[in-house]
C-alpha cells in the first residue's frame, strides 16, 4: 500500500470525526517502511489568515512553547538542525499563558492529542497534549472541549507541524517520520 492510500483512509476517518486508532497507526508504520519519508497527516481544525508549514526536514524537535487561554493561541518550535538550534517564528497570536517543554537528546514526540471547537464564531484548536518515547506526558495545554483527535505513532515520530493560524491556532496537522 502506498502513502497516498493511507492518507486517503485517514482523511476518510477524520471526516467522520473518529479518532485515529492503533489500526491506523500500523497502516502509517507500513507506509514508513515502504517509503522511508515523511508523511503529512491532518490538519484538524479550521482555517486562519495564514498557512504555516514547519519542521518536516528537521532532525529533532528540541522545545515546544504554547500560549493558551480558552484555546491554543500560539505555537513556537525549536529544532536541532545540523547540530544548531533553530527557533520558528511564533505561529498565532500574542496572548495567553506560556507553557513549554524541552526534549532531551534521543527523546521525540510519538503522540499528539488535541481538540477542536468553535469559540467566538471561529474554529480553533482548544487543547493540545503530547507524549514522548520516554513515556513523558506534556499537557494538556488549553481548556479543551469540542471534538477530540488523536495521532498515535508506533515506530515513528512527529517531526513537524503544519496548519493555519490568525490571532489563534486554528488548525494543525503533523509530519510523521520513521525512527
DSSP 18: P
Question: What's the pLDDT tens digit per position in 42-100?
Answer: 999 999 899 999 876 656 899 999 999 999 999 999 998 888 889 998 999 999 999 99
The 8-class DSSP code of residue 145 comes to: -
> Residue 95 belongs to what H/E stretch?
none
Longest alpha-carbon distance in the chain: 44
Separation in Å, CA 106 to CA 89, 93, 146 = 24, 31, 34
- What percent of the chain lies above the pLDDT cut of 90? 65
Q: Rounded to the nearest 10 degrees, how much is the dihedral formed by the CA atoms of 143, 10, 55, 52?
A: -70
Q: Which residues contact 23 (CB under 8 A, 6 or more apart)?
A: none
Question: What domains does the chain contain, in order, with CATH numbers?
Answer: 3-178 (2.100.10.30)
Instruction: Evaluate whether 129 touches 112 at the Cβ level (below 8 Å).
Output: yes
pLDDT above 60: residue 32: no
Question: Global pTM?
Answer: 0.79
Amino acid at each position: 500500500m502506498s502513502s497516498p492510500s493511507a492518507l486517503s483512509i485517514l482523511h476518510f476517518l477524520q471526516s467522520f470525526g473518529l479518532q485515529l486508532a492503533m489500526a491506523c497507526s500500523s497502516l502509517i508504520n507500513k507506509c514508513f517502511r515502504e517509503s522511508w519519508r515523511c508523511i503529512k497527516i491532518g490538519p484538524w481544525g479550521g482555517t486562519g489568515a495564514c498557512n504555516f508549514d514547519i519542521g518536516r526536514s528537521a532532525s529533532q524537535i528540541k522545545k515546544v512553547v504554547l500560549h493558551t487561554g480558552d484555546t491554543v493561541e500560539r505555537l513556537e518550535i525549536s529544532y536541532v538542525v545540523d547540530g544548531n538550534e533553530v527557533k520558528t517564528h511564533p505561529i498565532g497570536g500574542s496572548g495567553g499563558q506560556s507553557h513549554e517543554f524541552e526534549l532531551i537528546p534521543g527523546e521525540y514526540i510519538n503522540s499528539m492529542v488535541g481538540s477542536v471547537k468553535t469559540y467566538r464564531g471561529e474554529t480553533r484548536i482548544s487543547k493540545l497534549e503530547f507524549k514522548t518515547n520516554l513515556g513523558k506526558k506534556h499537557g494538556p495545554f488549553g481548556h479543551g472541549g469540542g471534538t477530540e483527535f488523536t495521532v498515535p505513532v508506533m515506530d515513528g515520530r512527529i517531526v513537524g507541524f503544519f496548519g493555519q493560524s490568525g490571532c489563534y491556532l486554528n488548525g494543525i496537522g503533523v509530519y510523521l517520520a520513521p525512527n
